[in-house]
Amino acid sequence: MDRIMRISLEIKREISNIIQNELKDPRLSKLISVTHVNVTKDLRYAKVYVSIMGSDQEKKESLDGLKSAASFIRREIAQRIEIRYTPEVQFELDNSIEHGAYITKLINDINE
């Protein structure tokens, strides 16, 4: 496994922990999961894909809450992971889980 992938997995684990245990923003949904993290080769940016269960309004509010907490999350990552440069965190909504559930529902409807 290459270095960037190991760093991405470590950042994913730490961000998941921070979101679940440390952020107290009332806008955040209880059902937020980090699905994937892409870190650039120069370690300047980390694009964090999150899956948020709920209505479109709840997703938007939760994403806004995460974006406003990005600097706090970056500081926490800097304290927890020893790397030369802590990447700037950018959050993106990942609808792959919902899309998979929708496809499964369609297949089940066809089979019935």
Cβ-contact 62, 27 below 8 angstroms: yes
Portion of the chain with pLDDT greater than 90, in percent: 52
Higher pLDDT, 8 or 97: 8
Q: What is the pLDDT of residues 39-51, one digit of tens each?
A: 999 989 999 999 9
For residue 51, give the CATH number of its domain: 3.30.300.20
CA atoms within 13 A on the CB side of 83: 23
Q: What is the pLDDT of residues 52-92, one digit of tens each?
A: 888 889 889 999 999 999 999 999 999 999 888 899 999 99
The pLDDT, as a whole number, for residue 3 is 87
| Distance of alpha carbon 8 from alpha carbon 21, whole angstroms | 20
The pLDDT, as a whole number, for residue 1 is 63
Residue 36 has pLDDT above 90, yes or no: yes
**32-39/45-52 β-pairing:** antiparallel
Q: For the chain, what is the domain count? A: 1
| Distance of alpha carbon 111 from alpha carbon 109, whole angstroms | 5
Domain with 72 in it: 3-111
Token pair of 43 as six digits: 């370690």
Cβ-contact 87, 45 below 8 angstroms: yes
Token pair of 111 as six digits: 């089979």
pTM as predicted: 0.83
| Distance of alpha carbon 23 from alpha carbon 92, whole angstroms | 18
Cross-strand pairs, 39: 46
